[in-house]
Amino acid sequence: MVRLARRLAMRPVLAASALAAALSLGACQDAGFSAAGSARAREPIPQKTVALMTAKNMSPRDPILIRAFKKESEMEVWKRGPDGQYALLKTFPICRWSGQLGPKVREGDRQAPEGFYPIAMGQMNPNSSYYLSFDTGYPNAFDRANGRTGSYLMVHGTCSSAGCFAMTDEAIAEIYAIAREAFAGGQRAFQFQSYPFRMTAQNLAKFRNDPNIGFWKNLKEGSDYFEALHEEPRVGVCGTRYVFGGQDAAAGACSPKVDPVVVAKRQKDEVEVAELVAKGTAATRLVYQDGGQHPYFRETAPSTQLFAEQAQPRPNMGTISRPEALAAAPEEISIEPKVKPVLLAKIDAKHEKGKPGAVKPTALAFAAPATNPAPIPTREAAEAAAAPSAPAGPITVASADGDPAAYRKLLGNLFGGAPAAPPVAAAALPAAESAPVAAISPAAPLPKKVNAHLHTAPTVHPAAANAKADVKTDGLNPAGAKKAEGKPTEGKPTAKSGEVKPAEKASETGKRTEGHGRNRVAASQPGN
């Protein structure tokens, strides 16, 4: 009886310890339970927002699409109208996001994800310990193809983030209600687009030398599609890149046709970026102590023009994660270009000096970017030039139907099971971006990289036809060197000069060392 009493007395202590351990792994691991969750999840859409929908010819049950921007700390809710096009309904200020601008790479880096994520009804959590929440579905097919890890990346209430987008309780309640009505109207999944910043020419010129610029330009392809056509882009994954388009992208095309309106927007943006660079726009990078917050929550008298429907006085923010990091503004540092200047002219002053018409030596200079945009093609010309290419194999489509991770999370939320299977190793970059790859599934390993082995017979010059068979070039047997190409070896020491070991030297010529770079963000405390 004494032992039983001791065990019963230790249960509250053990439960508290388990809760503390769970919270230490990351503030966004929304594994808690709220007794009032069911009532919160049934709250109606605020009347002011319903009136706003009516004024914009929208219905509460029309499909939605959500976009988030880290740098601006804003989250937009769009609704699809009767014409099939999306229009902006409302913009919400983000109360807290953590990490830096850039994608989430690994578990515990405190990075909020960037990319395109389908949100199914099973990812909505009415019993969240952070008031209400929905799971972004990270990692998706693209993240898994790039070997990225992490879990429980949410959009939730309470201004505490360790890789999540934290809204106020009031804001997440309204967003949750809008999404709930869209699901009730028949929408199977809504698209969640997450960006480092608004994809404007000014931002692209400013961050042109950031290490993530290649990934961000890939995201801009999807942003251009949505902003030019106001239609939800179909999203696929080919190799380690996103592809965007219409039905052909959904069908598995790695090079989908691009609408002329989208082409025109991209060309216009490229010209504007070139003009800004030519005018001297500095290439910089923003470094945060740990994420940011919209100025609405910091100003003593915040402007209510953008967020007119927000509660007054300012809504309760709850527990704020790392307030000392929010107190400091991000540091803007200059990034020098990694390329060398282009040599436009070089004059030998020693020989040219004194000659009539001689000019002084000129310094290295950069070629000025073109300011005249290319002509915008017509729809007919674009359709004739961009003939669809039949894929050699299936690709992964980043949608609710093509990504089983969403349904695994649904089952985990319902029955308390484990989340989606852990991500697998990164897939190798294909030989060409337009080449389709096999479907990427969370339950199946990604295709391994295959090195081609080329065996080319050595060409014998007629003049050397009668030469001895053991003639060597630079200490290597040509035939042996050719045979060894494409066969990487590991751990072989390099032969010293003068040693005659053709086999070892031939193997050494084929030696390669590969590695995958990762953008890592230092974290002062653990998290997702």
The helix/strand/coil state of 244 is: strand
Cα 322 to Cα 129, 159, 178, 294: the distances in Å are: 19, 10, 30, 15
488 lies in a domain? no
Tens-digit pLDDT profile for the chain (528 aa)?
555 555 555 554 444 444 444 443 444 766 555 556 679 999 999 999 999 999 999 999 999 999 999 999 999 999 999 999 999 999 999 999 999 999 999 999 999 999 999 999 999 999 999 999 999 999 999 999 999 999 999 999 999 999 999 999 999 999 999 999 999 999 999 999 999 999 999 999 999 999 999 999 999 999 999 999 999 999 999 999 999 999 888 888 999 999 999 999 999 999 999 999 999 999 999 999 999 999 988 876 555 455 545 555 566 777 888 888 888 889 999 987 655 544 444 444 444 444 444 444 333 333 333 444 444 445 555 455 555 544 444 445 445 444 555 545 545 554 444 444 444 444 443 443 444 433 333 344 434 444 444 444 444 454 444 444 443 434 334 444 444 444 444 444 444 444 444 444 444 444 443 444 444 333 344 456
520 lies in a domain? no
435 lies in a domain? no
241 lies in a domain? yes
Residue 156 is a catalytic residue: yes
User: Residues 19, 116: contact at Cβ < 8 Å?
Assistant: no
SS3 assignment for 491-511? CCCCCCCCCCCHHHHHHHHCC
Looking at residue 323, what is its pLDDT? 86
295 lies in a domain? no
Q: Which residues of 330-367 are buried (b: 16+ CB within 10 A; e: fewer)?
A: eeeeebeeeeeeeeeeeeeeeeeeeeeeeeeeeeeeee
Compute and round to an integer the Cα radius of gyration of the chain.
Answer: 29
Say how far apart CA 115 and CA 255 lie, in whole Å. Answer: 19
- Write down the H helix ranges in 66-212: 141-145, 169-184, 201-206
Catalytic residue among 28, 95, 159, 164: 164
334 lies in a domain? no
Distance in angstroms between the alpha carbons of the first and the last residue of the chain: 43
> Chain centroid to CA 438: how far?
21
Question: Among all chains, which residue has been given the structure tokens 């070997």?
Answer: 147
Contacts of 310 (CB under 8 A, 6+ apart): 93, 170, 171, 296, 304
Catalytic residue among 28, 95, 156, 238: 156
Say how far apart CA 479 and CA 213 lie, in whole Å. Answer: 44
> Chain centroid to CA 198: how far?
14
Say how far apart CA 191 and CA 235 lie, in whole Å. Answer: 10
Say how far apart CA 289 and CA 100 lie, in whole Å. Answer: 8
Say how far apart CA 113 and CA 153 lie, in whole Å. Answer: 8
- CATH code of the domain containing 258: 2.40.440.10
Q: How many structural domains comprise the chain?
A: 1
374 lies in a domain? no
User: Residues 162, 523: contact at Cβ < 8 Å?
Assistant: no
Entry pTM: 0.64
Cα 362 to Cα 37, 281, 349, 434: the distances in Å are: 71, 24, 10, 43
User: Residues 221, 242: contact at Cβ < 8 Å?
Assistant: yes
Q: Which domain holds residue 232?
A: 47-287
439 lies in a domain? no
